[in-house]
């Protein structure tokens, strides 16, 4: 299999090496998160969210949008996502001759948007592009998949379209992840995210957007003061499946938000005096047994590390999506990675999980935290609905913040 990475060399020295043809990230921000049904984006469709994010980005970067060669949008459930994305780009001032595409690999869609633009730059087809991840799960919740009866009678095919909550319970039951353990991991996420919000850590990764006369700049999804007692007192939400251990407190939130990265070659970034925040190294995608969808990172992370010649100990920070505490706890313990390195500012259980946004949000969050700590290597990963997993490797190259928030 071809090594899908920025440069052909393997190992930490090759990964950290700077080459003119490297794919680099020159801008990476996200919107604040919005709660499902009651939050700040509950009435804002994805095209309007994208338009606001694009306008804020061009105002902040002063980038001439005509310089973009291509745009890729990761999004999952809005109707006519291609038309909505194209319309949002045109409405934000992007010229009509800048093309756009959309990609849907469910929870990995945002990472796939980055991957698609990075690969286009690597191939020489483009030299600058934009990756966007966006989802409004209030307005566009997961539709019920419909497959033919002849397809549905095949067990794996049947399993791959089941609700994500069912897969959570299958992981918990099969791999013996107790309710107590799920709540323990959930508490870590809630506690870390609350601290990050109250100390202003998230301010560095959020770009304020103005929509309908209101500036949105603070997550409204993070619940303060979550305790063990509160989590243990919640009723299971899937009482007919497995051991019924998944609750609203130990599963990812269903929410709304958008994130964005600008990518180009190192040579062009340096020529045009663009700040280089990070370097794209490579990615990997895998398939897993559909009923155990949540174990995807266990296969994806070793695969991407092997592709680029790194070990798990080389990575400074992991952003591993917390779809459910059941699968997250099992992945962490099977991978043998210290929680000191994983989701230092909490994850989707606390901040929420807009499907198309998450893969890109993890990169924004991870690179910002590496900059704050003056560390180098980021690995992002997530399980993917229908039975898949994905992972990516990035290098922080940004100058440290002058006054790190501790």
- 96, HSE (Cβ side, Cα atoms, 13 Å): 0
Task: Work out the angle at residue 361's Cα, subtended by the Cα atoms of residues 355 and 362, and round it to the nearest 5 degrees.
Answer: 105
CA dist 28 and 364 (Å) reads 5
Which one of 72, 160, 331, 383 is the catalytic residue? 383
CA dist 347 and 350 (Å) reads 6
Which one of 107, 160, 261, 379 is the catalytic residue? 107
Query: Is 107 part of the annotated catalytic residue set?
Result: yes
Q: Which residues contact 83 (CB under 8 A, 6 or more apart)?
A: none
Tokens (6 digits) for 18: 């700077």
Q: Which residues contact 354 (CB under 8 A, 6 or more apart)?
A: 33, 133, 134, 135, 136, 137, 255, 256, 257, 258, 361
Give which of 307, 56, 47 is closest to 206, Cα–Cα.
Answer: 56
E strands, 196-291, are 209-211, 214-216, 255-265, 278-287
Query: Is 379 part of the annotated catalytic residue set?
Result: no
Tokens (6 digits) for 267: 């040579």
- Check: CB of residue 280 under 8 Å from CB of residue 341: no
Q: Which residues contact 15 (CB under 8 A, 6 or more apart)?
A: 9, 281, 308, 309, 310, 377, 393, 395
Query: Which residues are catalytic, by number?
Result: 107, 383
């Amino acid at each position: 299999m071809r090594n899908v990475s920025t440069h052909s060399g393997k190992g930490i020295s090759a990964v950290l090496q700077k080459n003119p043809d490297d794919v680099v990230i020159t801008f990476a921000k996200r919107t604040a998160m919005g709660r499902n049904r009651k939050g700040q984006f509950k009435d804002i469709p994805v095209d309007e969210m994208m338009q606001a994010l694009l306008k804020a980005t061009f105002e902040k970067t002063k980038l001439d949008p005509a310089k973009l060669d291509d745009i890729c949008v990761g999004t999952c459930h809005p109707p006519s996502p291609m038309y909505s994305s194209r319309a949002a780009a045109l409405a934000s001032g992007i010229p009509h001759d800048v093309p756009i595409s959309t990609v849907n690999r469910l929870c990995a869609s945002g990472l796939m948007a980055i991957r698609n633009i990075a690969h286009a730059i690597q191939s020489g087809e483009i030299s600058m592009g934009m990756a966007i991840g966006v989802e409004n799960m209030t307005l566009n919740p997961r539709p019920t998949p419909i497959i033919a009866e002849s397809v549905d009678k095949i067990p794996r095919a049947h399993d791959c379209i089941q609700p994500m909550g069912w897969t959570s319970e299958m992981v918990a039951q099969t791999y013996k992840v107790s309710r107590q353990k799920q709540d323990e991991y959930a508490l870590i996420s809630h506690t870390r995210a609350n601290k990050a919000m109250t100390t202003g850590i998230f301010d560095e990764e959020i770009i304020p957007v103005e929509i309908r006369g209101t500036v949105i700049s603070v997550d409204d999804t993070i619940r303060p003061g979550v305790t063990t007692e509160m989590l243990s007192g919640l009723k299971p939400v899937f009482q007919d499946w497995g051991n019924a251990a998944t609750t609203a407190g130990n599963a990812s939130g269903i929410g709304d938000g958008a994130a964005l990265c600008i990518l180009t070659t190192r040579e062009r970034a340096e020529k045009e005096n663009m700040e280089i925040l990070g370097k794209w190294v490579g990615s990997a995608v895998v398939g897993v047994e559909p009923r155990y969808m949540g174990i995807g990172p266990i296969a994806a992370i070793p695969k991407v590390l092997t592709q680029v010649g790194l070990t798990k100990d080389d990575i400074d920070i992991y952003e591993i999506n917390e779809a459910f505490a059941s699968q997250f706890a099992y992945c962490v313990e099977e991978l043998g990675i210290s929680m000191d390195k994983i989701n230092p500012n909490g994850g989707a259980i606390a901040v929420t999980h807009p499907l198309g946004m998450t893969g890109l949000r993890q990169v924004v969050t991870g690179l910002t935290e590496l900059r704050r700590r003056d560390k180098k290597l980021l690995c992002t990963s997530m399980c993917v609905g229908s039975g898949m997993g994905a992972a990516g490797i990035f290098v922080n190259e940004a100058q440290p913040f002058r006054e790190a928030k501790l």
